[in-house]
Amino acid sequence: MRLQNKIALITGGARGIGFAIANALSREGATIAVADINGEGANAAAEKLNAAGGKAFSFSVDVAEQPSVLKTLNAVVAQCGRLDILINNAGVGGNTPFLDTPLELWNRIVSINLTGAFLVAQACARQMVEQGHGGKIINIASLSGQRGGNGRAAYGSAKAGLELLTKVMAVELSEHGINVNNIAPGAIETDMAATAHDAATRAAYNYLIPMVRYGMPEEIADAAVFLCSDEARYVQGHTLNVDGGFRTAGLMFGARKAPMVSA
Ligand SMILES: NC(=O)c1ccc[n+]([C@@H]2O[C@H](COP(=O)([O-])OP(=O)(O)OC[C@H]3O[C@@H](n4cnc5c(N)ncnc54)[C@H](O)[C@@H]3O)[C@@H](O)[C@H]2O)c1
């Protein structure tokens, strides 16, 4: 129960990585505010957490719209009393080649994955500063923001921006006792991956991942619990990759990789 008496807001918490993090934080004793553009999904997620013995509430939000973000944060604070933890997770995937990316698609992906994350983080950080007891902010970035992958012009650029935003937030919010860190997932088995990754994409990922498998949402959630806990109090402005070694890997030979060729 490392997060007992903590209040945690999780955007995009209706499913996937967000729900897995909500579940893990709830198991550690936190009260959970699930906020999602899918209001029914958020309700169902909160019901599941409550059925498992947790304490959870649901909220509708569109993170790309500032009035919606502010209204939701007010509702969360009115319901839960304060805010200690933000999991800034809501996002949409993108897999369109650079030459074919229309401005509308670019704007949509950036407005949710980068501007939306900024709006939520700013509103929550202001709340934490006002409360005066510090806090934890975890931004969910992506391996796609660190490598130039096919089809990731808009998505990767937005996630790279989020990683830099995290560093600035960490620097500026240190004096308020707020820890700001990133988790950068690699390829994770969620509905987003099911939509965005075809068979060729999956094979390409598995070739590049030393552990030769996709990660599970629960593996991201375990990292989030650590970053939200007091054990991570001196971790600041860091990006924790949870990616099966993808970011680290260079040349790889072996049975499950490129075959060794004798001279
Ligand atoms: N799945 C992966 O392989 C992977 C890899 C790296 C990073 N990520 C990141 O992890 C996060 C979660 O991804 P996931 O795979 O669980 O995705 P998902 O599509 O399964 O879930 C995303 C959730 O965000 C919500 N959402 C979308 N737009 C929103 C908006 N405007 N306002 C509020 N909520 C909104 C959706 O309704 C959904 O519940 C995203 O930020 C994603 O970019 C995922």
Q: Is the pLDDT of residue 262 over 90?
A: no
Quote the pLDDT of residue 6: 98
Report how far residue 227's alpha carbon sits from residue 240's, in angstroms, rounded to the nearest whole number: 9
215 C-beta closer than 6 A to ligand 1: no
Could you tell me if the CB of 20 is within 6 A of ligand 1? no
The DSSP line for 128-158 is HHHHTS-EEEEEE--GGGTS--TTBHHHHHH
Task: State the pLDDT at residue 260.
Answer: 67
Tokens 């996002």 map to which residue? 91
Q: Write the pLDDT tens digit of every residue in 241-254.
A: 999 999 999 999 88
* Position 263 pLDDT exceeds 70: no
- Fold type of domain 7-242: Rossmann fold (3.40.50)
| Mean pLDDT across 153-175 | 98
- Check residue 253 and give its pLDDT: 85
Clarify whether 155 is annotated catalytic: yes
In DSSP notation, 52-87 reads TT-EEEEEE--TT-HHHHHHHHHHHHHHHS---EEE
177 pLDDT above the threshold of 90:
yes
Q: State how far the Cα of 173 lies from the Cα of 245, in Å rounded to an integer.
A: 30
Domain boundaries along the sequence of the chain = 7-242
Compute the mean pLDDT over every residue in the chain, rounded to the nearest whole number.
96
The label of the residue with tokens 């992906």 reads 109
With a 6 A CB cut-off, is 84 part of the ligand 1 pocket?
no
Q: Does residue 63 have a pLDDT over 80?
A: yes
Indicate if the pLDDT at residue 168 is higher than 90.
Answer: yes
Atom of ligand 1 lying closest to residue 155 CA: 43
pLDDT digits (tens, 9 = 90+) for 210-243: 999 999 999 999 999 999 999 999 999 999 999 9
CA distances for 90 relative to 18, 29, 100, 115, 180, angstroms? 7, 22, 25, 11, 17
The stretch 53-79 carries a mean pLDDT of 98
CA of 261 from ligand 1 middle (Å) equals 41
- Cβ atoms of 155 and 214 closer than 8 Å: no
